[in-house]
Amino acid sequence: MTKKEKAGEDKIIFNIDKEKNFSEWFTEIIKKAELADIRYNVKGFLVFQPWSVLAMEKMYKFIEKVLRRKGHKPYFFPTLIPEKNFKLEKEHVAGFEPEVFWVTHGGTTKLTEKLALRPTSETAFYQMFSLWIRSYKDLPFKTYQRANVFRYETKATRPFLRSREFYWIESHCAHTTLKDAEKQVKEDMETTKETLHDIFCLPFIFFERPQWDKFAGAEKTFAADVLNPDGKIVQQPSTHLLGQSFSKSFDVKFKDKDEKEKYCYLTCYGPAISRIFASVIIVHGDNKGLKFPWKIAPKQVVIVPIMQNKEVIKKAEEIKQKLEENNIDVEIDLTDRRPGEKFYFWEMKGVPLRIELGKKELKNKELTVYRRDINKKTTIKEKNLIEKIKKLAKDYDKNLIKKADSVFENRIENVDKKEDLKTALEAGKIVRCGFCSLNKKGESCAEIIEKEIKAKVRGKKLIKEKPLGKLNKCIICGKKANEVVYIAREY
């Protein structure tokens, strides 16, 4: 074998261009990095493999930590929900019934009442809220659970992005007043920022959804949209102001200070961990493969001995122990692959830092460290190992956030003509435009956008934007614009 052939064999090249062929890139990285196996023989269900599970467990940990700090208590609710629970809230059952998996038999015995595999848990939580909440002293009542939910998704399924079973956290809260409920919705948005952006390094825009696109049974819905490289949007955590509709359906009441019984105001919040993980893959990955943020990387450091003699391996073990004592996830690659092959393998897997260890490093008491975010090497003194690794970790995530935030730069385009709308969307843009109304009056214009342009009105920003200048007319009907909205294509 020639030197050139050996060099080629050393490389595990992830040679699909993410920008030019995002769909194929996404499919291939899931397979090559062993994130999930789609060969399980129930359509829309997949097997999550260790490399994704390790990251998702860390994601759960961070979100749950924030929720508990803000007063939420953890619960485990049953997976099955009686059909009668769904029927108590008419708008909710109308919204979710087409997606419900129903359990009709226990063994060979037909059940007297169908049981739903939970598509979401409002109708389970609020049944119990009616038993637990008695006085204003019980409020706010703040709960959450981590759970699998099941929806009979009729559209094309896609690993992590759109499947029939997904992993999430759902938070349900009861409040004395509408004002308190609105504060909770704002707190949910802050939780999204603290976790999605500051830890998972994902950029997003929070929108208030149109009335026709709100959560079934809610008064208002707010959701974070993350942008893909191909210009499509992925909806991430949403928070819902439910008002009193579910309280009245499930009799969730409390005795106030004035001794009068009143209905609670309810809110719910749902970060889907498996879907957020999809955005981590998509936003940070490149043509080499994955690129994990430091705090949620399955392994944060990999040590690659350049030569596997006793002295080098002993030093690798010493370094591993020091790192683990400082709560850093680390692995030593003692496989029989050549060094170059190992480098490319761990770059593809998205490990943030690689430590290379050979004769030169032992002699100089130095370590060669490779950063996956900038694909560059640096040299550090062995005696400064922990201090330097911690600094590199901070710099690493700051850099990922900076790069990710730039995703939205130059992606939002003002458009005032219907004929220019499709052109902008096909160029990967998010369109900002004037729109007649986000209540039922504007639904017919939104339907035209969905049918003719194959896009959706995402909603309006939380800080109201006035429809001035060219954006003062609805982009579809031409009537006076009452809102400035954002339009995009989605997964």
Band of pLDDT at residue 426, cut at 50, 70 and 90 = very high
The tens digit of pLDDT for each residue in 408-423 reads 878 899 999 999 999 9
Q: Which residue is listed with tokens 């991430």?
A: 236
| Residue 438 included in any domain | yes
Q: Are residues 381 and 479 in the same domain?
A: no
Task: Write the CATH number for 468.
Answer: 3.30.110.30
Q: Per the domain annotation, does 292 fall within a domain?
A: no
Strand, helix or coil for residue 347 = helix
CATH number of the domain where residue 343 is located: 3.40.50.800
In a domain, 2, yes or no: no
Q: Are residues 143 and 276 in the same domain?
A: yes
The tokens describing 244, both together, are 């009193």
Residues 6+ apart with CB under 8 A from 461: 205, 206, 207, 208, 484, 486
Say whether both 344 and 451 belong to one domain: no
- Tokens describing residue 434: 């004037």
| Judgement on whether residues 324 and 430 belong to the same structural domain of the protein | no
- Domain match, 27 and 127 both: yes
Q: What is the pLDDT confidence band of residue 13, given thresholds at 50, 70 and 90?
A: low
Handedness of CA 194, 199, 205, 207 (dihedral sign): negative
pLDDT band at 156 (very low <50, low <70, confident <90, very high): low
| Domain total in the chain | 3
- Does residue 483 contact residue 437 with C-beta atoms inside 8 Å? yes
Same domain membership, residue 280 and residue 309: no
Of 217, 251, 284, which residue is a domain's last? 284
Range of the domain at 260: 22-284
Q: Do 50 and 173 fall within a single domain?
A: yes
pLDDT, tens digit (0-9, with 9 covering 90-100), for 232-272? 999 999 999 999 999 999 999 999 999 999 999 999 999 99
Residues 210 and 272 in one domain: yes
pLDDT on residue 136: 98
Mark whether 482 and 350 lie in a shared domain.
no
Residues 309 and 272 in one domain: no
CATH number at residue 63: 3.30.930.10
Q: Is residue 322 part of a domain?
A: yes
SS3 content of the chain, % helix, strand, coil (to 5): 40, 25, 30
User: What global pTM score does this model have?
Assistant: 0.94
158 touches 139 (CB < 8 A): no
| 230 and 364 part of one domain | no
Residues 158 and 269 occupy one common structural domain? yes
Sheet of 109-117: strands edge to edge? Answer: 80-82, 109-117, 101-106
